[in-house]
């Protein structure tokens, strides 16, 4: 086992631990920290999948934008000491675990049967190929994504203005 | 010649499945709406990791999977913005953000 594999195992542990912390932690602040950890681990996995551009975008968009947005929402949604604990009843925990385990078992059978093993072709897709795919074949989804972001921004501003007028 | 650990498709698929597992469990288990939103981000990340891994191992001659992962990232950012503005509106109206007690439309 060489150094790259050891770092890969470390990245896997970071990703899984961050995801588990984002779900199981008692406070919402620790959930945000877990989400950031999982996102950084995902960026490492993208590096191992030979797509460094996607890793950089992951850090920029998720760690830089989405998490900061969620942190602002936590700060705006009232003081922390009046917040209820994140833990709910035992029955709800059992239900969540059951549904998630059923999903895990079904899809793990699908993974085990459907895909070939031990096949790793060369892969070198940089920003040039991604840009060519976007502007040759996927032009309509690309423009629709920009339209979606604009509509999302306008909708958020409209919701804020409506609530201010009602107060 | 042994195959390196990071050159196997199944490991990436299992990590993505674990993210889906955590996300589905968290959407049901979490009490506040922001916690549910965090779990949904985990589900979206698992989906985009699946797309990139399948693109890298099964169809390495084009890059549609990477493009769709970028589209998922943009969609997740817009979704988080709208969902958080709705959550703040709910907090201003009801003074809490618990998902269980929002049953005005259900009753």
Q: Does domain A1-105 have CATH number 3.20.20.70?
A: no
| Token pair of B9 as six digits | 């498709």
Q: Give residue-wise pLDDT tens across range B34-84.
A: 889 999 999 999 999 999 999 988 888 888 989 999 999 999 999 999 998
Model pLDDT, residue B45: 94
Placement of tokens 């830089």 in the chain? A64
In chain B, what are the domains?
Answer: 10-94 (1.10.287.3510)
Which of B3, B81, B98 has its CB closest to that of A153? B81
Q: Where do the structural domains in chain A lie, given as residue ranges? A: 1-105, 124-167
Neighbour tally for A116: CB within 10 Å: 9
Residue B88: its H or E element:
helix B64-94
| Token pair of A58 as six digits | 């992951």
What tens-digit pLDDT sequence spans chain A (167 residues)?
A: 788 889 999 999 999 999 999 998 888 889 999 999 999 999 999 999 988 999 999 999 999 889 999 998 888 876 666 665 666 678 888 888 898 889 888 888 888 777 776 677 777 778 888 889 899 999 999 999 999 999 998 998 888 787 666 55
ipTM reported for the complex, 2 dp: 0.90
Q: Determine the Cα–Cα distance for residues A11 and B85; give it in Å rounded to an integer.
A: 33
- Short-list B77, B4, B23, CA closest to A66: B77
Which DSSP letter does residue A120 get? Answer: -
Model pLDDT, residue A118: 66
Q: Which residues of B59-98 are buried (b: 16+ CB within 10 A; e: fewer)?
A: ebeebebbbbbbbbbbbbbbbbbbbbbebbebbbeeebbe
Entry pTM: 0.89
SS3 of B32, please?
A: strand
2-31 of B, contacting A, C-beta below 8 A: 3-15, 17-26, 28-31
């Amino acid at each position: 086992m060489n150094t790259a594999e050891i770092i890969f195992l470390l990245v896997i542990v970071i990703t899984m631990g961050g995801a588990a912390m984002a779900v199981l932690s008692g406070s919402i602040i620790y959930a945000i920290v877990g989400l950031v950890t999982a996102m950084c681990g995902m960026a490492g996995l993208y590096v191992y999948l030979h797509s460094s551009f996607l890793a950089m975008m992951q850090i920029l968009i998720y760690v830089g934008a989405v998490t900061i947005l969620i942190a602002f929402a936590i700060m705006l949604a009232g003081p922390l000491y009046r917040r209820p604990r994140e833990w709910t009843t035992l029955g709800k925990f059992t239900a969540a675990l059951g549904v998630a385990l059923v999903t895990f078992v079904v899809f793990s059978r699908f993974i085990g049967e459907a895909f070939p093993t031990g096949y790793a072709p060369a892969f070198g897709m940089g920003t040039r190929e991604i840009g060519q795919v976007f502007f040759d074949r996927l032009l309509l989804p690309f423009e629709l994504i920009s339209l979606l972001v604009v509509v999302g921004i306008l909708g958020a501003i409209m919701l804020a203005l409506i609530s201010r007028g009602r107060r | 010649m042994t195959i390196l650990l990071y050159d196997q498709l199944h490991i990436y698929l299992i990590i993505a499945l674990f993210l889906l597992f955590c996300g589905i469990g968290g959407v049901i288990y979490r009490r506040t709406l922001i916690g549910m939103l965090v779990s949904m981000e985990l589900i979206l990340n698992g989906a985009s990791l699946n797309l990139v891994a399948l693109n890298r191992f099964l169809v390495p001659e084009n890059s549609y999977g990477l493009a769709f992962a970028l589209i998922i990232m943009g969609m997740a950012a817009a979704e988080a913005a709208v969902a958080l503005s709705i959550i703040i509106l709910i907090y201003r109206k009801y003074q809490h953000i618990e998902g269980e007690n929002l049953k005005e439309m259900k009753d």
